[in-house]
Amino acid sequence: MNNSRRRFLQQLTLSALAVPALNAYPFPLSHQSSGLANDKPILKVALMGLGGYAERVAEAMQSCTRAKITGLISGTPEKLKTWGAKYNVAEGSRYNYENFDQIKDNPEIDAVYIITPNALHHSQTLRVAKAGKHVICEKPMAINAQEGQEMVDACAAAGVQLLVGYRMRFEPNTLKAVEMRETGKLGKIKFFQGQTGFKIGDPNQWRVNKELAGGGSLMDIGIYAINGARYMVGEDPIWVTAQETKTDFETFKEGVDETILFQLGFPSGAVASCLSTYSMNHLDRFYLVGNDDFVEMQPSTGYGPIKGRTKNGPLNQPHTVHQTVQMDEMAQIILEGKKPILPVDGKVGLQDLKIIDAIYRSCDTGQRQELQLG
């Protein structure tokens, strides 16, 4: 038994001892009316980029027990005003993109959650780290591995933590599937399939702007299949092949991918086949196959509820608000050094970027790309 598997099983055992009736689910089941924990440290978070997903995060954080919104960063003065009033954020803790370096002098901010377009993550992370604050960055962590490495190095040099918004790594049905694999209930893992996609809609949005997104569907939705393949199979891939298909050249201009098929190979011999697309709906499915059983998850990465089943029936783990659990867990990682069952640190984000870089190279060259993720 390797060290990572031993650690995983130890964590599950401790969770089962704490809540034996809940099938080893290690997180609180309800955050709807719990309120902040008075006797434990609270992570004070500034949200950067007050768009649609930030709204979802902000609402979810109202039910957190270990994290609260204490700062806002936006380029839109009206948003700073309305959000500040709604979430009771003092005017002195509201910043724009020009002056947010001043957070270094604000003791009411421990960490910044960066929820801006992909191409901005790198420079903003470097500035937050320089200000001495922890970084939580939405995925993809950057637009390429070189930027990702610089972000990891900057946070390490500043002595701050870098976490990535991989909410699915805290989701209960996902963790149940991982537990089944780790405890051998699926047998030897042979195959994973990840299907991720939707119709993009507004052709003028930043997600199809190469300068802001750094790519297309792969950066936005395909990363779920990349990251999911890793935690579902339980290994890191050692090679990748990929093929790009484009039908709408007006919306998906040069450097913005519409649809990519990619295949991953793992050290054990397991393989993965994945699809990332901006041109069709109803694609949110993971399928993991072992010699003895399978796990199918559909939906697999949406906001919930996540549904999973095996040959013996549904997984039936409780639904939680993903971002509530994510932020409470990340607060404990940052404040208490808690080790999550599935890591969500900058190293994980950098490894995904190395895979993304290799997928794009394979699309360009038609050649298999070898991977060394470290």
Tell me the two tokens of residue 153.
């190095």
**What is the spatial distance between Cα 233 and Cα 264, in angstroms, rounded to a whole number?**
11
DSSP single-letter state for residue 138: P
**What is the spatial distance between Cα 357 and Cα 372, in angstroms, rounded to a whole number?**
12
- 275 sits in which H/E element: strand 271-277
**What is the spatial distance between Cα 207 and Cα 185, in angstroms, rounded to a whole number?**
40
**What is the spatial distance between Cα 94 and Cα 83, in angstroms, rounded to a whole number?**
9
Based on C-alpha coordinates, what's the Rg of the chain?
Answer: 20
**What is the spatial distance between Cα 324 and Cα 64, in angstroms, rounded to a whole number?**
6
pLDDT the model gives residue 31: 36
Q: What is the pLDDT along the chain (374 residues), one digit of tens a residue?
A: 555 555 544 554 444 333 333 333 333 333 333 467 668 999 999 999 999 999 999 999 999 999 999 999 999 999 999 999 999 999 999 999 999 999 999 999 999 999 999 999 999 999 999 999 999 999 999 999 999 999 999 999 999 999 999 999 999 999 999 999 999 999 999 999 999 999 999 999 999 999 999 999 999 999 999 999 999 999 999 999 999 999 999 999 999 999 999 999 999 999 999 999 999 999 999 999 999 999 999 999 999 899 999 999 999 999 999 999 999 999 999 999 999 999 999 999 999 999 999 999 999 999 999 999 98
Number of neighbours of residue 43 by Cβ within 10 angstroms: 24
Order of all β-strands in the sheet with 162-164: 94-95, 67-73, 43-48, 111-114, 134-137, 162-164
Q: Which residue is catalytic, options 95, 224, 231, 278? A: 224
Is 139 tagged catalytic?
yes
Is 224 tagged catalytic?
yes
Superfamily covering domain 184-318+346-370: Dihydrodipicolinate Reductase; domain 2 (3.30.360.10)
DSSP state letters, 143-158: SSHHHHHHHHHHHHHH
Q: Which residue is catalytic, options 68, 139, 307, 354? A: 139
What pLDDT, in 10s, does the model give residues 63-107? 999 999 999 999 999 999 999 999 999 999 999 999 999 999 999
User: What's the predicted TM-score (pTM) here?
Assistant: 0.91
Tell me the two tokens of residue 144.
């390429």
Side-chain-side CA neighbours of 152 within 13 Å: the count stands at 18
- 10 sits in which H/E element: helix 3-18
pLDDT the model gives residue 261: 98
Tell me the two tokens of residue 152.
């990891």
Domain extent listing, the chain: 3-167, 184-318+346-370
CATH number, domain 3-167? 3.40.50.720
Contact 218, 340 (CB under 8 A): no
